[in-house]
Structure 1
């Protein structure tokens, strides 16, 4: 078989719930100061799910929509891997549920399962798919990578950093968006900054301050190791000037701003005598652990990167601000945001990408846009889809999360949310039987209204059907 070249993203799409809550409304509802969430966190809206949607239905929608929009032949897929931390079952993978989309085609020869480590699972799944195509195991077919989560927090200061969404990507050779082969800086540790030891609850345990320091330390290490790989490969010094755009995992937008500044700080430490860094001289001898929460250094870095952030990073933040944190999908919703915002301005450009998952796992790597992505932008239709969502009150949002809390791991029940709150053509949870088997149904578009199909579709009886 001919060695594959230009491996990367052939197609990409995102699924997110139709309902969202505005962060400015949450500020009033929570009784906090105006701007605490919208300015302090840098967030605008937050997507969320009721009890009709779960991680299975979100992934079904993301993969089905990808295959429909790009007319993907089910037989052309040889690997399907899911990166998530939203776990319904301790043994059965989400990937097995997604196999129902291929049942009618008869294609059961699809490798891959679920990959889990907080927000990093999607990136690990992506790297696995690329390495599969590069390996002797590759059989000439493409891979689908699914990355996303339902991020919910208990009542308190962390709740506004939730969100929901799943990104699906078709990976293969001769792609318009290709990986910079051999360029990857990896950093991993054993840390309890964010974890979910209680299977009886959707809510994580979070050490917020530790998580921020872990995130920034991971940037230091990943950026440094990526730089070394770049310099070895291209034989020239590397700094942020070699990057056209940058995409970050985004728990909330303010951390993304700090993270870009952190990369510049690493450039300063590498070349401290450069005249453009003269305002940072007093921070040169600080230990790394003394810099993570140094407000003066943070202000200096934000000031130095203000213009370059607006040009290189801000275009990738639209979805994260609108959906909130989608955990495993966050980095790739950022990439999709960049595509939507910049379209064909990206051809020939390099996109540095940083992915982080608590616990911890992180890497820095890069893409190059080699061909027009106009078709992707048109098919995803991101801005129109975001505008078609339904804004709900904080009271309804809180009630929906309380309902999810009550029904987490519940068996023998029928969800009560109205399916009119779903996008037309969406899979949704119909029922959970007395031994925990989940059944799904689907809404269809007829004329101008969304109706529920009448037949009961069991988890073993879904069909790959184009949207009407």
Structure 2
């Protein structure tokens, strides 16, 4: 039985800051951001957008085209949830008009949450072949203005419908996963700003890849020659490249160049949107499929997922016949091109205008309302969501 990704949806805020302008405002050589880190633009989420609205907006790209009566599971993978008790998944269920007869819950394990949701959904569909599962990976990466991590912020969501006989990509039952308790990145409950040991986290990311890739090779007998491309979790676009380069000596020079070319195609959307934590790996997958004309049905793709703290997993998928018909490349490119560029001053104002960590009522700024679903504010400690008319 084939199980995998039947639909893919993408959403990122309508606003962005140009990283060349940000670098200049911070007194940094722009090449450090654009070449060294590999980012050129960064999505900026106004306070009217959170993981619930972005997740629902991503799923709305395909939800009207599928049989929602078959959905038996809705999972939200996020590390920027909006409540310490109630899951954002159940709110997304309401916004999308999904049936009541299904499971909804939220998963947290840093950037690994989207993959955790995908694997749970795969197991659910394996046990219930007549049902489907909606997996949403949504996050807003915040490190603080003029901080070391500011260049690796971002916001967005990727939604995936998991089913038998999927239209886009099967997920093979070949995962190798490893967990280890480390402190490379975390966010205490009293703040919306993440803490990170940048150099140490990068070292751990690379080591986790090396460890799971070596075990994957041992267990499956596969080599890089068996893959058309390898997709990576992308906190910034140069991060995955550092890991990929550790494995490239295994193959010929020609294969190395092919994998590097595919890698560049997988980073196009991330370079313009930035870090979306749980959704970053799947943003890379979508970028590869919508920008690389060389990928075709039958190609095997590698997938490396990493979540600080830490969990690393390597698995593979196979592209299905006609997968191109279920992508929205032109729509996504046009959307990114049509976004509104904020000046650095405007970006800082939007960044600081946030839903408070307090019991206060709050009103989102209607000037920044965008997307099908929005957060209009907070009343009596209840978030107010509605469709954007």
Q: Does 1:372 align with 2:322?
A: yes
Q: Residues of 1 paired with 2:312 and 2:174: CA distance?
A: 14
Match of 2:238 in 1: 254
Match of 2:85 in 1: 91
**TM-score, structure 2 as length reference:** 0.94
Q: Residues of 1 paired with 2:47 and 2:36: CA distance?
A: 30
Match of 2:377 in 1: 431
Q: Does 1:74 align with 2:68?
A: yes
**Relative to structure 1, is the Cα distance of residues 253 and 419 closer, same or farther in structure 2, using a 3 angstrom cutoff?**
closer
SS at match of 1:221: helix
Contact 1:6 1:178 in 2 (8 A): no
Which runs of no fewer than 5 residues in structure 2 stay unpaired?
none
Shift of 1:121: 0.3
Match of 2:174 in 1: 183
Match of 1:263 in 2: 247
Contact 1:257 1:309 in 2 (8 A): no
Match of 1:51 in 2: 47
Which string of whole-angstrom CA distances, capped at 9 and with x for unpartnered residues, describes residues 5-58 of structure 1?
221111111011000011111111111013010011011110011111112211
Q: Does 1:64 align with 2:14?
A: no
SS at match of 1:203: coil
Q: Residues of 1 paired with 2:96 and 2:367: CA distance?
A: 28
Match of 1:194 in 2: 185
Match of 1:149 in 2: 139
Shift of 1:101: 3.4
Q: Does 1:160 align with 2:159?
A: no
**Relative to structure 1, is the Cα distance of residues 73 and 101 closer, same or farther in structure 2, using a 3 angstrom cutoff?**
farther
SS at match of 1:46: strand
Aligned residues: 388
Q: Residues of 1 paired with 2:339 and 2:287: CA distance?
A: 17
Shift of 1:308: 3.3
Match of 2:206 in 1: 216
CA-atom RMSD in angstroms: 2.0
Q: Residues of 2 paired with 1:311 and 1:126: CA distance?
A: 27
SS at match of 2:124: helix
SS at match of 2:10: strand
What is the aligned counterpart of 2:165 among 170, 174, 199? Answer: 174
**TM-score, structure 1 as length reference:** 0.79
Q: Does 1:440 align with 2:385?
A: yes
Q: Residues of 2 paired with 1:412 and 1:318: CA distance?
A: 39
Q: Residues of 2 paired with 1:309 and 1:72: CA distance?
A: 34
Moved segments of 4+, more than 4 Å: none
Q: Residues of 2 paired with 1:335 and 1:346: CA distance?
A: 13
Q: Residues of 2 paired with 1:17 and 1:383: CA distance?
A: 14
Q: Residues of 2 paired with 1:379 and 1:109: CA distance?
A: 33
Shift of 1:380: 7.0
SS at match of 1:123: helix
Contact 1:7 1:130 in 2 (8 A): yes
Q: Residues of 2 paired with 1:416 and 1:101: CA distance?
A: 21
Match of 1:240 in 2: 224
Match of 1:457 in 2: none
Q: Residues of 2 paired with 1:321 and 1:409: CA distance?
A: 34
Kindly name which structure, 1 or 2, has the bigger radius of gyration based on alpha carbons. 1
Contact 1:13 1:380 in 2 (8 A): no
SS at match of 1:313: helix
Contact 1:102 1:108 in 2 (8 A): no
SS at match of 1:39: helix
Match of 1:33 in 2: 29
Q: Residues of 1 paired with 2:37 and 2:255: CA distance?
A: 18
Q: Residues of 2 paired with 1:228 and 1:349: CA distance?
A: 21
Which string of whole-angstrom CA distances, capped at 9 and with x for unpartnered residues, describes residues 179-232 of structure 1?
3533111111000100112x231101111121011101100111012212322x
Match of 1:234 in 2: none
